[in-house]
Chain A
Amino acid sequence: MDQTEIDALLAGGGKSPRKPKAAVPAAPPVPAPQGEPHKDGSGHVISELDTVTAVTERESNKVMDQLDQISRLVSRQQELITGIMRHEGAQSPGVQKAIHEVMSAGKEIQDKVFEAMDLMQFQDITRQKLERIVHHLRQIHDYIVDLLGTGLKSDAERPSISHTIAQTGTTPDENKAHADAVIEAYKSQKKG
């Protein structure tokens, strides 16, 4: 929800605001939450977490759209500068040097854009960590249902989850050496 929507919601006393017609690229709709309906506390929390996940994925894709756009613009700029470089009036050493500096700055921007795109992996990692929390909430919910002998157990299908989130890193390649060592050990054991 952006500021326009929040302002409209506040002004309308909690009624749903109208969608702002911002010039942003079309983003995929937020899928319906998979958790239980708001029958009880855990279903509500699961549903909220699903919404958080869906919204962050949608917003991350908007950031990716913007980064793609910057990348395309920088490429276009590099093409234009290459054209200028070949121009008869741009052959003096001073102009050529300046053009090379602009080209090099453009490349630096492009590299930073790619770096920013790679950093967007945090969205998927956070999503999977939330999925793990949802898994625990559902276990608690089902345990309470069993204990009290009343209520409905969780039934919505969820993605599989990792055994633990404790080992999930946040820095790129944090676990590379560990994974490579396991692969190496497995392959040598198989050979032997």
Chain B
Amino acid sequence: MKTKKLYTLWIGFLGIFLALGFYTVIRLYTKGSDTVFHADDTIPWTLLIASYVFFVLTSTGATIVASLSMVFGFSRFDPIVKRSLFIGLIALIAGFISMGLELGDPLHMFYYFISPNLKSPIWWMGAFYMSLLIILSIKFWQIHKRIGSEKIKKILSISALILEIAALTTLGSVFGFIEARPTFFGEFIQVYFLFSSIIAGISAIFFFSLIVYKLKYNGIPKSLTRMYESLSKIFAAFIGITLLFSIWRILIGLYANRPEFDALSYMVETWHYRIEIFIGLMVPFAIMIIPNFRKTFSGKLLAAILVFVGLGIERMNMVMLGQIHPIFPHFLESESIISYFPTIWEWSIAMFSLTIMLFLYTLGEKYLDLETHNVSTK
């Protein structure tokens, strides 16, 4: 009874954001992009690009975790394969929604297929992520319906892993190839994306599965505690690596003499950057390396939530870091730092993408039986 009430409340909550999102989409296409977006040529990429990066990196991260079992044969992780794949799929869909709504003229998208520019990182990124969507859908269907030969499953799993790595590093190159904006951090960002994608994926898997376990079994089922302990250690290791990258990124930026790096000096002083580093990485790292915290249900859930939210802020900081310093030197009237805060409608679209993801997850959990193991609570 209590669960039913909670479920109704949850659907109602999602419904509010869905309705707001639909209203914003209608507003975007009837009243024009200037009524929705920040509409400033000096900051062409806004919250929705950050939101896209956030979702697609979460997607690749979740599916890379699934490949621990599917590609590398660590059978301990078999129980989370289906759920991880599903999270990968719905996060990808959420990412596409953010990107699709960010485009000024999505009706011209057919030129993407009939007039491809193979030199463009965005083209390759799109190609990899679209292929990934297809492969992940097939794989999920195979697992759901328990069909397909082992050989085909293996080939698809390996292809998916290659595509995941290709997609997220190509996404890094979208930013990294921009020579005029060194604060996107060139090739550094691609490696950073790989590690931060993995923690994004694990945090999403923890977040979604732990809440379900809490509601269904009042905690992690006994048969899964060893797996979650292993995953927590992997989580800790990759949060540590991501933190190390973040610290070096700050130090490289602060030691650089180029004026563009003023953006970083500015950024490290802001509250959102501090949340990214302290609350989004340091605190969860501490939780995950101290066994007394790591082994608890709430420790895991808290670390997952902090990393999930912290990475949301990180993607925004990353997209802004490359844009808030004017790239045109010696221009006297330019501001030293361009200010930007997302409009309420940009927030609404980002929340719309997240809501779609949460809504699809709710449906998946209800109708697709995301458990792939026999749960034992003893």
Q: Do A and B come from one complex?
A: no
Interface set of A (CB-CB < 8 Å, partner B): none
